[in-house]
Amino acid sequence: MLSNKHLHFALEPKTLALTYDDGPGPRTLELAEFLTQNNITATFFVVGRHVREHREVVAKVAKLGHLIANHTDTHPSLVKRPIDADQLTREVVAAHHEIQQFVGDRKLFLRTPGGEPLRGLAATLNRNPELQNYYGAVNWDIQRGDYEVGSPWCGYSQYTLELCQQEHLEWICKEEKGVVLLHDWSADPPQPRGETLRRNNRTLELTKWLIPRLEGFKFVTLDEIAESDYYYKAAAS
C-alpha cells in the first residue's frame, strides 16, 4: 500500500541498497552490466517517457536481475507546481504501464520526483486497481549530489567528480548502511538545468570508483529488503 509518509527500510549493518533515478539514459545499460559483473543488484527508478525511448535498455537491465521501479511518467514536481491526486495517479499509472512487463512477480515500488512524501494523495492512488500492489513513497538515507557534478553544490564552488566520489565514500562509511540515492540520468526540463545535468552526468564513473572501495558491504534490491525482517512500512495517514 502507498502511504502519505515515506516507506522506511531498517537495513542490517553493512548493507546498502543502491537506487538509481531518472533513467534510463545512454549509459544505464553499461552501469547495470558493471554492477552485475560485481555481483551487485540495484533498483532503477525509471521515468515512463524515458522507458518509451529506451525500452530495450530496460528489458536488458531487468534481465540482468535488477529491480525496475516507478518514478512517474514525466517527473512532475509535487512542490514547485502542485499536482492533485488525479494528476499524480495518471502519472503513476502511465509509468506502471511502461514497466509492468519488466517487473514480473516482483514487488512494485514508487518514488516520487524529488522523493517527496505523498502528503494526502495516497488514498486516491490506492483506490486505483492498477496500483493496489505498490509500496512507497520510497525515500533514501544517503544522498551526496551525484547529479550536481560540474556545478556549485553544498559549499563547493565547483562540485567535481573527485569531490563527489569522496563525499559518497565518507558518508557511506559513516552511516554504514542505508538506501543510497544516485542518478543514471536526469529527468529535469531541458532548459536551462536539465541539459546541464545530463551533459555532466558522471554517475557511471562514480559507481565504478566507489564499488571497489566498499569491500565488506552487502548490496540488496528494495524487494529483497521488503521480504526480510529489516523492513517496515510507514502507517498510512
Q: What is the CATH number of the domain that holds 200?
A: 3.20.20.370
With contact defined as beta carbons under 8 Å apart, do 219 and 41 qualify? yes
Question: How high is the pLDDT of residue 80?
Answer: 77
Average pLDDT for 10-24: 96
Q: Is residue 110 part of a domain?
A: yes
Q: Is residue 63 part of a domain?
A: yes
With contact defined as beta carbons under 8 Å apart, do 175 and 141 qualify? yes
CA distance 146 to 152: 12
pLDDT-based confidence at 237, cuts 50/70/90?
A: very low
Q: Is residue 29 part of a domain?
A: yes
Q: How many domains does the chain have?
A: 1
- Over the stretch 120-148, which tens digit does the pLDDT of each residue have? 999 999 999 999 999 999 999 999 999 99
CB neighbours of 120 closer than 8 A, spacing ≥ 6? 4, 85
CA distance 45 to 140: 12
Which grid cell sits at 141?
538515507
pLDDT at 227 over 80: no
Which grid cell sits at 115?
522523493
Which of 10 and 63 is assigned the larger pLDDT?
63
Q: Is residue 105 part of a domain?
A: yes
Closest to 13 in 3D by CA, of 177, 159, 229, 232: 177
Question: How high is the pLDDT of residue 79?
Answer: 81
CA distance 57 to 53: 9
Question: How high is the pLDDT of residue 236?
Answer: 37
Average pLDDT for 209-227: 94
Closest to 71 in 3D by CA, of 169, 144, 140: 140
Strand 67-70 vs strand 178-183: parallel, antiparallel, or unpaired? Answer: unpaired
The share of the chain scoring above pLDDT 90, in percent, equals 87
Average pLDDT for 35-52: 98
Domain that holds residue 104: 2-232
CB neighbours of 39 closer than 8 A, spacing ≥ 6? none
Which grid cell sits at 135?
509500496
Q: Is residue 94 part of a domain?
A: yes
pLDDT-based confidence at 82, cuts 50/70/90?
A: confident
Average pLDDT for 76-99: 93
Q: Name the average pLDDT for the chain.
A: 94
The share of the chain scoring above pLDDT 70, in percent, equals 96
Residues in the chain: 237
Helix (H) / strand (E) containing 21: strand 15-21
Q: Is residue 131 part of a domain?
A: yes
Q: Is residue 130 part of a domain?
A: yes
Quickly list H helices, 85-221.
Answer: 85-103, 122-127, 161-175, 195-200, 203-210
Q: Is residue 237 part of a domain?
A: no
CB neighbours of 235 closer than 8 A, spacing ≥ 6? 3, 5
With contact defined as beta carbons under 8 Å apart, do 132 and 177 qualify? no
pLDDT at 73 over 60: yes
pLDDT at 29 over 80: yes
Which grid cell sits at 185?
540520468
Q: State the CB neighbour count (10 A cutoff) for residue 110.
A: 25
